[in-house]
Amino acid sequence: MCGILAVLGCGDESQGKRVHVLELSRRLKHRGPDWSGLHQVADNYLCHQRLAIIDPASGDQPLYNEDKSVAVAVNGEIYNHEELRERLPGHRFRTGSDCEVIAHLYEEHGESFIDMLDGVFSFVLLDARDHSFIAARDAIGVTPLYIGWGIDGSVWISSEMKGLNDDCEHFEIFPPGNLYSSKEKCFKRWYNPPWFSEVIPSVPYDPLRLRSAFEKAVIKRLMTDVPFGVLLSGGLDSSLVAAVAARHFAGTKAAKRWGTRLHSFCVGLEGSPDLKAAKEVADHLGTVHHEFNFTVQDGIDAIEDVIYHIETYDVTTIRASTLMFQMSRKIKALGVKMVISGEGADEIFGGYLYFHKAPNKEEFHQETCRKIKALHQYDCLRANKATSAWGLEVRVPFLDKEFIDEAMSIDPEWKMIRPDLGRIEKWILRKAFDDEEKPFLPKHILYRQKEQFSDGVGYSWIDGLKDHAASNVSDKMMSNAKFIYPHNTPTTKEAYYYRMIFERYFPQSSAILTVPGGPSVACSTAKAIEWDAQWSGNLDPSGRAALGVHLSAYEQDTIAVGGSNKPGPMETVVNGVAIES
CA 237 to chain centre: 13
Q: CA-CA distance, 547 to 540, in Å (whole number)?
A: 12
Residue 458, marked binder: no
With 0-12 / 13-18 / 19 or more C-beta atoms within 10 angstroms meaning exposed / middle / buried, residue 131 is middle
User: 212: annotated binding-site residue?
Assistant: no
Beta bridge partners of 187: 180
List, in order, residues 6 or more apart from 308 with CB less than 8 Å away. Answer: 162, 505
The secondary structure element, H or E, covering residue 127 is strand 119-127
Residue 520 marked as a ligand binder: no
Q: HSE on the CB side for 170, CA within 13 Å?
A: 2
Question: Is there a binding annotation on residue 155?
Answer: no
The amino acid sitting at 531 is: W
CB 148 within 8 A of CB 164: yes
Strands 338-340 and 228-231: parallel
Give catalytic status of residue 2 as yes or no.
Answer: yes
* Integer Cα distance of 43 and 258 in angstroms: 44
Distance CA 117, CA 503 (A): 37
Catalytic residue among 2, 266, 369, 523: 2
Beta pairing, strands 263-268 & 228-231: parallel
Please answer whether residues 30 and 390 qualify as being in contact, where contact means their C-beta atoms are separated by less than 8 angstroms: yes
- 427-432 contacts at long range (C-beta below 8 A, 24 or more positions apart): 427/563, 428/205, 428/207, 428/210, 428/349, 429/210, 429/236, 429/240, 429/345, 429/349, 430/236, 430/563, 431/207, 431/563, 431/565, 432/207, 432/208, 432/210, 432/211, 432/214
Q: How far is CA 329 from the centre of its chain?
A: 18
Residue 342 is labelled as binding a ligand: yes
**Sequence ranges of the binding site for L-glutamine:** 98
- Name the binding residues: 98, 231, 267, 341-342
- Where in the sequence numbering do the catalytic residues fall? 2
* Residue list for the binding site for ATP: 231, 267, 341-342
